[in-house]
Amino acid sequence: MATKIRLARGGSKKRPHYSIVVADIRAPRDGRFIEKVGIYNPLLPKDSENRVILKEDRIKHWLDNGAKPTDRVLRFLDAAGMATRPTRNNPNKAKPGAKAQERLEEQRMKEEEAAAAAAEAEAPAEEASAE
């Protein structure tokens, strides 16, 4: 049976509270799970010690038995020093979209035209003052 260590949402509307659970990958997000191995409360401040609570021995047990953590849970485990999360590199993320690139190109062309017009306007003035 393939298992994942993932978040199961609880709490009321606009007041989320997550349980960190070990579940079969085919089970629904908030449905049946095998074991509850931690708690995550995103409403607490980031420096609060109660924001993420992990049962380290049980998580290590499930990791040794082949459970795969989701990306968010892997972040928690990395912060706790239980696992290492590889760094990601997406150089295309910082690039603007196609329409924004078109706008930048149009703006650059207008600036070049304005600079050329300004240089052209200065050139006859310099010739007149030289005579």
How far is Cα 85 from Cα 93, in angstroms, rounded to an integer? 20
CB 33 within 8 A of CB 10: no
Q: What is the DSSP string of 15-51?
A: EEEEEEEEEETTS-TTS--SEEEEEE-TTS-TT-TTS
**pLDDT value at position 39?**
95
8 compared with 126, residue with greater pLDDT: 8
Residue 130 has pLDDT above 60, yes or no: no
Instruction: State pLDDT tens for residues 25-78.
Output: 999 888 899 999 999 999 999 999 999 999 999 999 999 999 999 999 999 999
Share of the chain above pLDDT 90, in %: 66
The sign of the CA dihedral 11, 29, 33, 64 is: negative
What the block records as the tokens of 11 is 């709490």
Residue 126, pLDDT score: 58
Owner of token pair 């990601």: 88
Query: What percent of the chain has pLDDT above 70?
Result: 93
pLDDT at 77: 93
Confidence (pLDDT) at 72 = 92
Confidence of residue 104 (pLDDT cuts 50, 70, 90): very high
- CATH no. for 3-80: 3.30.1320.10
Domain positions in the chain? 3-80, 95-130
The reported pLDDT for the residue numbered 129 is 60
